[in-house]
Structure 1
Amino acid sequence: MFKLAAIDEVLASLGDHADFATIAKKEADLGVQHYEYDVRAGATTYFGENGYLVERLTNGLGTKVAIEEDADKVQQLGTDYVAGKLSLAEAVKGLAAAGCQTWTANLKRKVIDFAGAEGKIMAVIAF
């Protein structure tokens, strides 16, 4: 089973602008199956097999989320983040301003769901 220290090591070695597919492959190699990022809290929960999970309480990027949702903006920002054009900090700031509350990356299906209020899917991006 993966440990938070191993995830931190992978993220640190790849840097801020690594493309998402590269990050996902490295995390999947550790045993991560999917993870959810909470924009407001700046927290990530990583899920492995058989319900195994590890939670990073915060990365210091907790951001107030706009009430007004802009799915087109979320689609563009999500695409840029997945392509490595935006760092996590830049993506969080922009996505929060566009009303994105969470995103869930399914490393097996190779897709990220960006969601707004009450879990409404605003954009789905393959990587």
Structure 2
Amino acid sequence: MFKLATIDELLANLGDHTDFATIAKKEADLGIQHLEYDVDAGMTTYFGENGYLVERLSNGLGTPVTGGEINVDAVEKAGAAYIAGTLSLAEAVKALAAAGCETWTANLKRNIIDFAGPEGKIIAAIEF
């Protein structure tokens, strides 16, 4: 099974502006099936087979989510730019937090990321 050190090494080798499809393929090759990212905490949980999971408690990019109105267009724009590799994770986190996105979940088998706001309500779903 995958370990956090292996994931860190993979992401470091790919760099900040790699498209998400490439990242997803490489992470799936490690055995990751999906991941959940918490914007406030900068925390990622990676899920594998049979309930196996690995958590990164913080990547240092945690960003408070605005308490105001959700900006669907801004979430879609930032999400698409992150998936395309034109925004780094750090840039995407700031933009998504400002637009009201609290979490995102990437399903590496279905090739889709669901961006969610309060109470897990999906704001946008973008394929990669």
TM-score after normalising by structure 1: 0.99
The answer on 1:44 being equivalent to 2:48 is no
Give the drift of 1:72. Answer: 1.1
The answer on 1:35 being equivalent to 2:35 is yes
Once the two structures are superposed, residues 14-65 of structure 1 have per-residue CA deviations (whole angstroms, 9 ceiling, x without a partner) of 0000000000000000000000000000000000000000000100011110
Match of 1:4 in 2: 4
3-state SS in 1 of match to 2:54: strand
Gaps of 5+ in 2: none
Structure 2 distance, partners of 1:120, 1:53, is 23
Match of 1:99 in 2: 100
Match of 1:116 in 2: 117
Match of 2:89 in 1: 88
Match of 2:20 in 1: 20
Q: Name the aligned partner's letter for residue 93 of structure 2.
A: V
Q: Name the aligned partner's letter for residue 23 of structure 1.
A: I
Once the two structures are superposed, residues 53-102 of structure 1 have per-residue CA deviations (whole angstroms, 9 ceiling, x without a partner) of 00001000111101221111101110000000000000000000000000
| Aligned length, in residue pairs | 127
3-state SS in 2 of match to 1:29: helix
Question: How is 1:52-91 mapped onto 2 (pairs within 5 angstroms)?
Answer: 52-67=52-67, 68-91=69-92
Structure 2 distance, partners of 1:116, 1:56, is 21
Q: Name the aligned partner's letter for residue 79 of structure 1.
A: A
Gaps of 5+ in 1: none
What is the identity percentage for the equivalent residue pairs of Structure 1 and Structure 2? 76
Q: Name the aligned partner's letter for residue 34 of structure 1.
A: H
TM-score after normalising by structure 2: 0.98
